Amino acid sequence: MLNRCLIACVFLTAFLPLFTTAQVTSQKKEYTRADTLRGSITPERSWWDVGWYGIDVFPDFVEKKISGSVTIGFRVIDSGQRMQIDLQEPMQMISIEWNRQALSFRRDGNAWFAYFPVSLKPGTYHQVKVLFEGKPQVAVRPPWDGGWIFAKDMKGRPWMSVACEGLGASVWFPCKDHLSDEPDSARISITVPDTLSAVSNGRLRSVEKKDNGKSTWTWAVANPINNYNIIPYIGKYVHWEETYAGEAGNLDCSYWVMDYNLEKARAQFTQVRPMLQCFEHWFGPYPFYADGYKLVESPHLGMEHQSAVAYGNGFVNGYRGNDLSRSGWGLKWDFIIIHESGHEWLGNNITSKDLADMWIHESFTNYSETIYTECQSGKEAGSAYVQGTRALIENESPIVGRYGVNEEGSGDMYYKGGNMVHYMRQLIGNDSVFRAAMRDMNATFRHQTVTYADVLQYWNRKTGKDFTRLFDQYLTDTRIPVLQWQVKGGKLRYRWSNCIPGYEVPVRVKVDTSTLWLSPKTSWQFLNIKNLPKMGEIENYHGKNPGGLQPFVSIHPDFYCAAERFDGK
């Protein structure tokens, strides 16, 4: 997903400050019952597990409304009789049917509660069919705000889609709208005028022409998929296909674009093959061979819709022709192809259980940009890219959001989170181990939903390192650690400040002309150093530098933290 705040303003502002001494601020947002119903596993959600969605949708471009039905297949985990189904206002549920019986139901805001005549038994499998209709919330600035998109292409023809990460798929169809419960598979049937095409996730199963000038396009997803990734694209599409010889066999790749963009797309989308080669090398086999890989031109900038990635970057490199890192390396590749495809491994294959942990998606996917830069241009280029992104970090609120209320954390989950992953890589100190851990993470959590603790414990166990305090510092606190140092009597005195209690994370520094590792704590540590200039000479140590004095102790540029000389006692 794209950083909503960052992308909107990055080229309108000067470089943001790299470091802050701000403490974590207590945000006194008032959470409502609606927030809890949306963001938590309520009793009406906990007793059943989604197995399958069968979605039939009929968009009306002129009236800007949709209607249809959803069949929800589910397993009973624990006895239950009242079911929560989510559908956001102003959409309406018309009826709910089970075993050919109409169920009674009532609405509580965006949550609907259906009542079964009997308590369903654990271990059994059932289906309910929900009819729905209405004028869905329309996205004003997709993909940064959510909703249905009723747009027109350059020739004035209808062009429709949806963008709903965060807001949730219940903005347009009835579902169990919580990240922790993904259907094992899905079927999406879209009925549109037969002058248009309808594209969705997975594989095309059929195109059925009707007598009324309509056609129904049916797509099937064979793998687990999170709700916000289930997306229709409706427009005047043309497409072509190719086969990629990947780690897990032949991967079917297809590309759907507006008819007038075909030649530009053919040229720009040649970047898919080297992207797949790089990411399979670093992250393991593409996670959805059964569903194939698609790029679909969209009426918005882009999103990571599983097996049907939304593309709207104008067929240029960078982010709409700009380098977000300002290092120069971000113009060597198409930001949307690389970033949104990276989510296939990190966000779609591995999905957070709660929106508060959206950093799991975005921090690792942000780092996939560095990985791809390294694949194309070498390790120094990758390091320059990730270092360049630090100017975009705000450090105003924590990366982790509040659990149970459908709240994601700050946009720093992208570039600060990516720099945290880079810090992890330096602490591991062995790229073969780091790469093996990235690949094994995708295998260990394949097609699963995970928590903060799951990811932390995995990296601690896999690498033999303890990243607990690093995660706590960078994900839950706004401060960036500062290494305070002082030279006295031939000894280097140093400690961490501006950090959480007990922060003890190693760092690589340059002392004089030597590069070495330090293991600071929040209390003073000491290191004997030979042949240092006397303390009175340190002020003039770099006196010949016309740019001014430089620090005697400096942080290696691969580490996102700061150093300052301590002048106290």
Identify the pLDDT of residue 529.
76
Give residue 2's pLDDT. 66
What interhelical angle do 452-463 and 431-444 show, nearest 10? 140
Cα–Cα dist 299/459, whole Å: 38
Q: Give the E-state strand segments of 87-173 in sequence order.
A: 92-98, 101-102, 104-108, 111-120, 125-134, 147-152, 158-163
For CA atoms 546, 549, 553, 557, the dihedral sign is: negative
pLDDT value at position 26? 40
Cβ neighbourhood burial of 322 (10 Å; 0-12, 13-18, 19+): middle
Residue 80 has which token pair? Answer: 């239950």
β-bridge partners, 83: 114
- Hey, what amino acid is at 180? S
Q: What is the pLDDT of residues 391-401, one digit of tens each?
A: 999 999 999 99
Query: Is the overall model pTM greater than 0.85, yes or no?
Result: yes
3-state secondary structure labels for all residues of 369-435: HHHHHHHHHCHHHHHHHHHHHHHHCCCCCCCCCCCCCCCCCCHHHCHHHHHHHHHHHHHHCCHHHHH
112-132 pLDDT, tens digit each: 999 999 999 999 999 999 999
In the chain, the domains with their CATH numbers are 4-29+341-476 (1.10.390.10), 47-316 (2.60.40.1730), 482-565 (2.60.40)
Contact 332, 377 (CB under 8 A): yes
Identify the segments of the chain with pLDDT beneath 70: 2-28, 530-551
What dihedral do alpha carbons 468, 474, 478, 479 form, nearest 10°? 90
Q: What is the pLDDT of residue 86?
A: 98
Measured CA to CA, the distance from residue 462 to residue 457 in angstroms comes to: 8
